[in-house]
Amino acid sequence: MITVSTSKRESYHHGDLRAALIEAGLKLIEERGADDVGLREAARAVGVSATAIYRHFPDKGAFLQALAQAGLERLAAAQIAASDAAGGGAAGFNATGRAYVRFALANPGLFRLIFSTAKGDPLDWDNAPDDAMRLLRDNAVRLVAKERGAEEAKLFALHSWALVHGLAVLMLDGMVAVDDALIDRVIDVRKVEC
């Protein structure tokens, strides 16, 4: 974008336009949901021309995929911080589940976008696609695989993910009241033998 002043021409420069567009898209999702996020609107929010966004994202699908990836990174960071704060082990594993549900409740549009754009097998043991899934896999291996084997660890991971994802969706959809104490009680029911 070119800005013209009376004394000289100044060219507009954006340090990291891709990152700025993603951040603008994430804010738009918070305000109104992923369905209402447009490429042109994100460009306007950053202060660049509508065509500038196409240098980084060929279409809306690619933009939404980048937003979902940024959301997964934020989810993983929240889970890692929760696990670390709980001291790891079984307590840390349960903390990651509580962090998952609370992330979904705090970021409903982003949470739904993450899982509506997911591709591939997220429980592909050898090629976990993101930090959140690697954390789930690594915790399941650490807590279950040594005593019960890799297949049981995979089932444990799937069971644990289904529990927290299901609780998050039930709360987001208003089927279960949002209640912090209930989140703690439901997730702590998953007793883990270390």
The model's pLDDT over 44-78, given as tens digits with 9 standing for 90+, comes to 999 998 888 888 999 999 999 999 999 999 999 99
pLDDT, tens digit (0-9, with 9 covering 90-100), for 92-149: 999 999 999 999 999 999 999 998 887 767 667 777 767 888 888 888 888 887 788 8
The pLDDT of residue 13: 52
Tokens of 154: 């995979």
Distance CA 98, CA 124 (A): 23
Domains 14-58 and 67-188 agree in fold: no
Distance CA 194, CA 61 (A): 42
Q: What CATH number labels 14-58?
A: 1.10.10.60
The pLDDT of residue 147: 80
pLDDT, tens digit (0-9, with 9 covering 90-100), for 28-44: 998 887 788 888 889 99
Residue with tokens 């460009």: 43
**In the chain, helix, strand, coil percent, each to 5?**
70, 5, 25
- Integer CA distances (angstroms), 144 to 26, 95, 137, 155, 168, in order: 36, 17, 10, 10, 24
Residue with tokens 């991971």: 157
Tokens of 180: 């912090």
Domain ranges of the chain: 14-58, 67-188
Confidence of residue 2 (pLDDT cuts 50, 70, 90): very low
Q: In this structure, what are the phi and psi dihedrals at residue 10, rounded to the nearest 5 degrees? A: -120, 130
What class, spelled out in words, does domain 67-188 have in CATH?
mainly alpha
Residues with Cβ within 8 Å of residue 63, at least 6 apart in sequence? 21, 25, 37, 39, 42, 53, 57
The pLDDT of residue 111: 95
Tokens of 29: 């999702």
On the question of pLDDT at 190 being above 60, the answer is no
Residue with tokens 């650490």: 142
Distance CA 115, CA 162 (A): 13
